[in-house]
Amino acid sequence: MPVKGITSQADYQNILSGAGATKLVVVDFTAAWCGPCQTIKPIFEKLSNQYRHVTFVKVDVDEFQEVAAVAGVTAM
């Protein structure tokens, strides 16, 4: 399953609530200027294809600052 890019805070909440308590969701908080984030990107995408029963989500912290704040992300 391809990595899902969120489009809003509501979208992020829907993904999490839709997974419920039984489905694993892996979230990559990323930024275009973050070198390590860009390094891990192809690995994250490969894992999303390998583990199709897991939901993989990416959140651009510059575009969705409030999502990152709610999740407790304080540094990149």
**Catalytic pick from 19, 34, 40, 73?**
34
Q: Are 64 and 9 in contact (CB under 8 A)?
A: yes
Can 63 be counted among the known catalytic residues?
no
* Phi-psi sector, 6: left (phi>0), alpha (psi -120 to 50), beta: beta
Can 11 be counted among the known catalytic residues?
no
CA–CA gap between residue 15 and residue 19 (Å, rounded)? 6
**Catalytic pick from 6, 37, 61, 67?**
37
Q: Give the residue numbers marked as catalytic.
A: 34, 37
